[in-house]
Amino acid sequence: NAGVMQNPRHLVRRRGQEARLRCSPMKGHSHVYWYRQLPEEGLKFMVYLQKENIIDESGMPKERFSAEFPKEGPSILRIQQVVRGDSAAYFCASSPQRQANTEAFFGQGTRLTVV
Amino acid sequence: TQLLEQSPQFLSIQEGENLTVYCNSSSVFSSLQWYRQEPGEGPVLLVTVVTGGEVKKLKRLTFQFGDARKDSSLHITAAQPGDTGLYLCAGGDMRFGAGTRLTVKP
């Protein structure tokens, strides 16, 4: 059973370009969470999605950021018109259900560098 | 959103020492999870505590959930360099504290 797969592991974008980060959850998992992590800091919640639905996007910046989790395929975090401040590690986690004590599994992250 | 505060923020100790890190909130949680994150990797779940007063042990790691389910602690006995990492707690809403960055020196 493959774990949570994120790709690419490293992504370099010039200011103004678009960044697309992909997260394939574990088999059978229909819940995905995205987080942003700056160096030496903790995980900042961005968005929580179920298949085809955004459940909670309270941590997502209002502009330039969007997320989706289609019926088929991976979850996508999209950052449009990237700026240097978007440089960070972005992690996703998946779980089979949204219950308080359900174990969530994390991917290895995508490290975005904006130059 | 239920806020989680972790302390200390940084901790550097010698191999063989014991340590305790804390995860506190003013809110009641139905559960708390502890994760460890190593450099360049994603967090890995260590334990989930659900019942107030619950104590769980994982080898040299002891996790406790407060009676009121507002706080939790992680105690490591005889720390080893392999314990080095960022220790994170999270509530059932999958929001995380800022973490405790532990360094165990050989």
Q: What is the pLDDT of residue A98?
A: 66
Radius of gyration from C-alpha coordinates of chain A: 13
In DSSP notation, B34-98 reads: EEEE-TTS--EEEEEE-STT-EEEETTEEEEE-TTSSEEEEEESS--GGG-EEEEEEETT--B--
Q: Which tens digits make up the pLDDT trace of B4-30?
A: 999 999 999 999 999 999 999 988 988
Q: Which tens digits make up the pLDDT trace of A13-39?
A: 999 999 999 999 999 899 999 999 998
Ranges of residues in chain B whose predicted pLDDT is under 50:
none
Q: How far is A37 from chain B (nearest CA, A)?
A: 10
User: What Å distances lie between residue B62 and A115, B49, B92, CA to CA?
Assistant: 44, 11, 20
Q: What is the pLDDT of residue B98?
A: 93
Interface contact A42, partner B, CB < 8 A: yes
Which chain B residues are closer than 8 Å to A93 by Cβ?
Answer: 42-43, 94
Kindly identify which residue of chain A lies nearest to residue B32, measuring between CA atoms.
A101
The DSSP output letter for A100 is: T
